[in-house]
A and B are shown apart, each in its own frame.
Chain A
Amino acid sequence: MSTAVRTQTPRTPGRGETPILSLVDITKKFPGVIALNKVSFDVRAGEVHALLGENGAGKSTLMKVLAGKHKPNGGQILLEGEEKVFDTPKRAKKSGIVLIHQEQSLVPEMSVAENIFLGSLPKKWGNWVDWKTLHRESTEILDRLKCSFSSKDMVSDLSIAKKQMVEIARALVFTPKIVVFDEPTASLTDHEKPVLYDIINTLREQGVGIVYISHRMDEIFHLSQRISVLRDGEYNGTVNTADTNEDEVTKLMIGRSLELDHASKPKDFGENMLELRGLSVDGVFEDVSFNVRKGEIVGMYGLVGAGRSEVAETIFGLRKPCSGEILLDGHVAQLRSSHDAVAEGIALVPEDRKDQGLILGMNCRDNMTLAGLQSVSWRGFMKTAAEKRVYDKYQQAMKIKTPSWRQKVGNLSGGNQQKIVIGKWLHTHPKLLILDEPTRGIDVGSKAEIHALIKELANTGYAVLVISSEMPEVLGVSNRIIAMYDGRVTAEFDGDAVSEDVLVQAITGQPVTGQSGTGSTAGHPAA
C-alpha cells in the first residue's frame, strides 16, 4: 500500500483545537473481509469534516460503527475526551450522535410532526398525544430548516427531498453533538441543495461537529473545512480544504499506483453483440445508445443512482423500455421477461448479490445450475450427475472455496458467493455477459481473480458489459468506457487512453475538459 501525503494525522490534531469526537484505530471485520483496518478519524466542534472514498472504501461502515449499528472488532471511540462504547443505536443517539441515513427511516403513514418526535411524542393526561405542543415544537424545528411543508403533512405525500428534511429535523430534537450526513444530496434537486447547505452551516455555527459523506467535489469544497480520505478500508490522509484542490483530493482517493495491465485486455473484437439505440425508460434514464462487440469489455462508469443498473435491467428484460431499441447480434430483440433475455443469450450478474443473485437458503450446486436447468435435465428430471459435473467444473475453474456443494450459499463469503453467481451464468453459455458491480464488498484477492476471469471470458469471445463505480476496476478491465450521469450517457472513452480526472468529471456532471467524448451524446443533462 503506497500511502499518499499525510498532511495531518488525526491522533495529533494541529492548530490547538481539540476534537469533540475521535475514532481511534477502529477495526471492523466481516466474514472474509476486513472492512476497516485501524482507521482513525476525528471531528472538531463547529467544523464540517468531509469523508471521502470510493464505494466499498469503508465510509458507511465507519459511520455505522460510530452510530452503534456495528460493533467494532478493535479501537476506541472518544467523545469529548471520554471513551464510549456504543453497543446500540439508542446509546449513540443519547450521547448526541445522529446519523442521517441514505435509506429512509421514516414511518410513511404518519404526519411529519409525529415522525420528528417518533418514540417521544409529547403527552398530556396520561397517554393522549399533546398535539398542540407537538405541532408547535415541530413547526419551530421546520422553520429553523426553512421547510416549505407543514408539520401536519403526511410523510408518504412528501417528495424524497422533503423526507430527507424530516430526517434532519428529527436530528434536531435532541441537541446533537455530532451529525453525520451520508450522501445527503443524492436525492435533492438543485434548488433544494442550498437549503441543506444553510442548515449545515447553521448547525456548524452552533458548535455541532459535522461529518459529511459525499462524492460530489463541488459540495465538499463548498462546505467542508477538512477532508479525510478512506481507501480500501484504510485511512489515507486528511487535508485542510483551504490548502488543497480537487486534483489533489482525487489523487488521494484513487491514490494507489494503478496496476493497469492494458496488455492483458482483449484485443480482437468481432461484430456488434449488443447495440442500444436511444433506449429510454421514463423517469429513470434517457436516450442511452452504445454498443458492445464480441470479445470486447465495455465498462459503464457512474455514481450510484446514475441509472446504470436500470439500463442493465432493461437489457435483461426486467424493465419495459418506453422508447428505443435493443439489438442483439444484429436483430431487434423483443424482451418481455428475464426468461426471454436468457433465451437470447444474455446473462446478468446483478448488483445485489444477496437479494437478486442468490437463493441464500439453497445449496451451492442448486444455485449454480438455477439459470440453466434445461441443460442438466432430461425431460424435466434433473440429472444429478450432470449437475454435479457442472458444479465441479466451475468450482474448480473459479477456485470457489466451500466445504461441499451441499453448503448453503448464505454461509459463504462474499467473494465465493459472487463466483457462484458468475458460475451460474457461465453455465448458460451466454453471448452477452453483464456484470453489475461485480466486486462490491469483496476482498482484494477475490477481486483480482474476478477481474482476471472477466478478461479471460472476453478473450474467449464473450461480449462483456461491466458496470462499476470503482475507477480502478473500470480502467483495469475495459476496452471502452461509457460514463453515465443523471440517467444519461455523458461521454465515451477509450479504456486505455483516458485519464482519471476526465472520467471523474464525466460522472460528476462537470464539463469534460481536454479529452472529449468520442462520438457519443456528450450533451449535458438537464436536471
Chain B
Amino acid sequence: MASAEHIKQGFMLSKTHKAGLLNFLSAQGILVFFLICMLAFSLFSEQFLSQSNIMTVVRQASIIGIIAVGVTVVIIGGNLDLSVGSMLSFATVLVVDLHDKIGPVGAILVMFALTLMLGAVNGFLVGFMRLNSLIVTLAMLSAIQGLVLIYSGGQNVDIANQSETWFSVFGQGYLLGIAVPVIIFALLAVIVQVVMSFTGYGRRIFAIGGNPVAAVYSGIRKNWCVFSTYLTSAFCVACAALVLGSRVMGSQNNVGQGYELLVLAGIILGGTSLLGGAGSIWKTVIGVLILGFIQNGLLLLGYPYYTQWLVTWVIIILAVWLDLANKRKRLLTRHS
C-alpha cells in the first residue's frame, strides 16, 4: 500500500497537497537544523554573527535570491524553470557588452527587453503550447547558452572605463548603509510576496498550481497566467543580471551556469513543494539565506567553499526524510 502512495507522489504523475501545519512543521525542522548550524558557527567564530558579516552574507545571497523569487512564482504555478542560469549569462553578457556601445541606459533597456522576450518564449511554449516545462526550459537552457556564445564569440566581455560610470551602483552601491543588491532583493521579495498573497492574480496562480483543471473550470485563463509566471521569472533574472554585471563590471560568457540548481536548492530548502499550488516567497528567502549562511559559516571556520555543497545535500536528504516522517504521522492519524 505504501508504495502505491509513493507512486502517486512520483515524478509528474500526480499532485498531492500537504496540510499547512505539516508543511510548517517540515519547514521548521529545517529551521531547527539551521539554528543549530548558526549556533555552532557563532560559537566557533566570533565574526559570524557580526553585523558586517551578516550584511555580507545577505549581499552575496541576493543574486540567487532575486532569481529564486521569480522561479518560486513559476513553481507555485505548477511548472519549472531551468533556463534561468543561461538566461542570467545572456542578460549579464548583454548588459555589460552594450554598456560601452550604447551607454548604460540603453544597455539596461535592451537587456530587460530581450530577457523578457526569452521569458515570453518559455511562457508561450509552456502556457499556450502546453508543453512539458521541464523539457522546454531544459532546451532553452541549452539554446540560450548557445546564443550567449554566438553573441560574444566565445569571448568574455568587460566594461572598459569602470571608474566613470554610475552603472556600478547596482552591484556595489549602498543606500542608507544597505547594499543596493540587498535592497533590490528585498524590494522584489516584498512586492512579489504581496502580489502572491493579496491579489487576485496571486490567487489564480495558486489555483492553477493546485489543480489546473479546476482552475480552468473556474473560468481562469490558465494560458495567460502561466505565461506571466515566466515573464516574472525572466524579469527577476534581468534584475539579477543588473546586479551581477555591475558588481563584476564584466562577464564571463558562462557566468550563470549552474545557477538554476542553486536557485532550486534554495527553494527546496525553504520548503516550497515542487508540485505547485503551495509555497511562498518568504520561505524561499529563508532557504536562500540558509544556503548563504552555511556557505559563509563554513568559510569562516576554515572549510573550503565546496563543503557547503555536501551540507546542502545532507539538508535536502534531511528535508526529504522529515517530509516522510510527516507523511507517516498523517497516515496514522487518518487511520485511527
Taking the complex as a whole, does A directly touch B, i.e. does some CB pair lie under 8 Å apart?
A: yes
What residues of chain A have their CB less than 8 Å away from a CB belonging to chain B? 88, 316, 318, 337-339, 341-343, 348, 350, 355-362, 366, 369-371, 373-374, 377, 380-382, 408, 410, 424, 428
Residues from chain A with Cβ under 8 Å of B201 in the complex: 380
Q: Given the known A-B contacts A88-B1, A380-B200, are A341 and B211 also in contact in the complex, defined by CB atoms under 8 Å? A: no
B204: chain A residues at CB < 8 Å are 373
Q: Which residue of B lies closest to A317 (CB)?
A: B219
Min CB–CB distance A205 → chain B (angstroms): 37
* Known contacts A356-B214, A410-B17; is-contact A341 B219 (Cβ 8 Å): yes
Q: Check A355/B1 contact, CB under 8 A, given A338-B219, A339-B219, A377-B199.
A: no
Residues in chain B near residue A341, CB distance under 8 A = 219
Query: B73 to nearest A CB, angstroms?
Result: 15
Q: Given contacts A359-B214, A361-B278, is CB(A377)–CB(B200) below 8 Å?
A: yes
| 15 residue pairs from A and B, CB less than 8 Å apart | A338-B219, A342-B219, A343-B219, A356-B213, A356-B214, A358-B211, A359-B206, A361-B17, A370-B203, A370-B207, A370-B215, A373-B204, A380-B199, A381-B200, A382-B203
A358 in contact with B219 given A373-B203, A377-B200 (CB within 8 Å): no
* Beta-carbon contact of B206 and A338 below 8 Å: no
Query: For the complex, is B217 an interface residue (Cβ under 8 Å from A)?
Result: yes
Do A338 and B217 touch (CB < 8 A)?
yes
Cβ contact of B211, chosen from A337, A355, A424, cutoff 8 A = A355
12 more contacts with CB within 8 A, not counting A360-B210, A408-B20, are A318-B216, A348-B217, A358-B214, A359-B207, A361-B210, A361-B211, A362-B277, A371-B218, A373-B204, A374-B200, A381-B198, A381-B199
B16's closest neighbor in chain A, by CB?
A361
The 6 closest A-B pairs by CB, nearest first: A361-B17, A342-B219, A373-B200, A359-B210, A371-B218, A356-B217
**Chain B residues in 8 Å Cβ range of A316:** 217
Residues of B within 8 A of A (CB): 1, 17-20, 198-201, 203-204, 206-207, 210-211, 213-221, 277-278
Given A380-B200, A382-B199, A362:B206 Cβ within 8 A: yes
Which single residue of chain A is at the shortest CB-CB distance from B275? A361
Q: Bound state CA distance, A362 and B210, in angstroms?
A: 8
CB distance from A404 to the nearest CB of B (A): 12
Q: List, in ascending order, chain B residues with CB within 8 A of A374's CB.
A: 200
Q: Which residues of B contact A369 (CB under 8 A)?
A: 203
Interface centre among B201, B211, B214, B219 (most CB of A within 10 A): B219
Residues of A within 8 A of B198 (CB): 381-382
Which residues on the B side are within 8 Å of A380 (C-beta)? 199-201
Closest partner residue, chain A, to B197 (CB atom)? A382
Task: Let me know if B221 and A337 touch, CB within 8 A.
Answer: yes
Bound-state CA distance A374–B216 (Å) is 16
User: In the assembled complex, which residues on chain A have CB atoms less than 8 Å from the CB atom of B17?
Assistant: 360-361, 408, 410
Query: Which B residue sits closest to A361, measured CB to CB?
Result: B17
Q: Whole-angstrom distance between the alpha carbons of A339 and B277 in the complex?
A: 20
List residues of chain B with CB within 8 A of the CB of A371.
218-219
Of A318, A348, A359, A424, the residue contacting B215 (CB under 8 A) is A359
A350 and B216 CA atoms in complex are apart in Å by 11
